[in-house]
Amino acid sequence: MSDLTRLTAFEIASAVASGEASAVEVAQAHLDRIAAVDDMVHAFLHVDSAGALAAAARVDAARAAGEALGPLAGVPLALKDVFTMSGVPTTCGSKILEGWRPPYDATVTRRLKEAGVVILGKTNMDEFAMGSSTENSAYGPTRNPWDLDRVPGGSGGGSSAAVASFMAPLGIGTDTGGSIRQPAAVTGTVGAKPTYGGVSRYGLIAFSSSLDQGGPCARTVLDAALLHEVIAGHDVMDSTSISAPVPPVVAAARAADVSGMRIGVVREFSGEGYQPGVETRFREAVAVLESLGASVSEVSCPHFTYALPAYYLIAPSECSSNLARFDGMRFGLRVGDDGTRDAEQVMSLTRDAGFGDEVKRRIILGTFALSSGYYDAYYGQAQKVRTLITRDFERAFESVDVLVSMTTPTTAFRIGERADDPMAMYLADLCTIPSNLSGGAAMSVPCGLSPDDGLPVGLQIMAPALADDRMYRVAAAYEAASGGPLTREVPAL
């Protein structure tokens, strides 16, 4: 493995800015790493070698011309295949968009390009971000670099696996019910869900519009914070974008100090169903934070136990509306258009062939929840529960600065182990969903390896809306005190 692929994003940017390494050298080293290991991991759906090298050459030219470089200029990145990128295949892990090359960049993609970030390609994901294992991709599963027989989490397993296996120092994911944080936890990486509206959703192909949020994936807390600041900020193209200033997440990550902070441990996230080794590492992490000067107390959020059923009514309801646009009429796959069928028949055949089982399951569930006679009983009630969960957060943050929990109840499970049991699969997001329902900020940082199986465990840190800097401050302090990130080469590779 090239030494350049072992560097953090901050170290790469510093090397490029000083002339110690060229951006082209860095990009080529990572492309070589992808060529060497991605046949085993399958993190990427499309590698844009020519585009990456051209972007890197532009960074080198800007430096040679004496232009000031951004804080991540020349740093390679893996982009989840749910963000549009002009002229580059964007599939959302679905056959229904196979071969589609969008004519425009998502705002996140544009901001990355403007910052001089080198986009290596598009990463694998559960189809339309619906899943917790990246097994639901129409293009085959991604594998966990720590154990190739296990899942890398989902839906953004491709981005996290790319970062964990040193194919990219940075990744972009989206988090609808935990799809950044859960993969981060089980791959030993850092993943952050910014405050809802903190990162533009323009060009992010929607699953659930009131829940989806793009965010950073990295191997260190500082790298995640640097990427967060690059992609965040108000966007007039997104009606849900927040116009408030971006929280000072980089300064918080560099401060790495929890002395005097009040940390609440969520009472409801423990006990039956939680892997003993995961609980052990979590309790140890809390003890570390307390030793650093934070005050720790247990906090009850009683309605968190209803988050999972509420989410699986709200998210499918929104997806049944959002995915109606994929009809075979305007773009993407079209099946049965041989002149003998009307438009309705072509739509039906296209959707049957183009959507996978999990997507169909959620569309059916959501359509039923929104149907006449059932709307108030299902979707309406779920939204009331969402309000109660938001109030639980509000009450908790009156007495503590952040909440902490395990990110996932277990370490990575084996590929295929939960494929025939949707409920078992859904439970992987048990701890992450409440922050999506409330819109607050949350992130996962590695907290060691489980004594049960030697696989990574994640510590989840939850903060109020627009207080994203608090979670970075806690995460960075823990990372420093625990000996740094899990940067040793992953065993499976």
Boundaries of every domain in the chain: 3-255+468-481
Given the residues 22, 160, 179, 482, the one annotated as active site: 179
Out of 132, 137, 155, 208, pick the active-site residue.
155
CATH, domain range 3-255+468-481: 3.90.1300.10
CA 154 to chain centre: 8
Q: What mean pLDDT do residues 465-475 have?
A: 98
CA angle, 177 then 182 then 185, to 5°: 160
| Whole-number pLDDT of residue 271 | 86
Q: Is 155 a catalytic residue?
A: yes
Does residue 487 have a pLDDT over 60?
A: no
Q: How far apart are CA 286 and CA 192, in angstroms?
A: 19
The pLDDT confidence band at residue 2, using thresholds 50, 70 and 90, is low
- pLDDT above 90 as % of the chain: 91
Please check the confidence at residue 1 and state whether its pLDDT lies above 70. Answer: no
| Amino acid identity, position 105 | D
Whole-angstrom Cα distance, residue 185 to residue 192?
11
Measured between alpha carbons, how far apart are the two ends of the chain, in Å?
Answer: 10
Report how far residue 126's alpha carbon sits from residue 181's, in angstroms, rounded to the nearest whole number: 15
165 catalytic, yes or no?
A: no
- pLDDT at site 489: 63
Note the pLDDT tens digit of each residue in 369-400. 999 888 999 999 999 999 999 999 999 999 99
Is residue 480's pLDDT more than 60?
yes
At 162-216, the pLDDT tens digits run 999 999 999 999 999 999 999 999 999 999 999 999 999 999 999 999 999 999 9
3 state SS of 78: strand
Active-site pick, 80, 95, 122, 193: 80
371 is catalytic: no
Backbone φ and ψ of 488, nearest 5°: -65, 155
Determine how many CB atoms are found less than 10 A away from the CB of residue 227.
Answer: 30
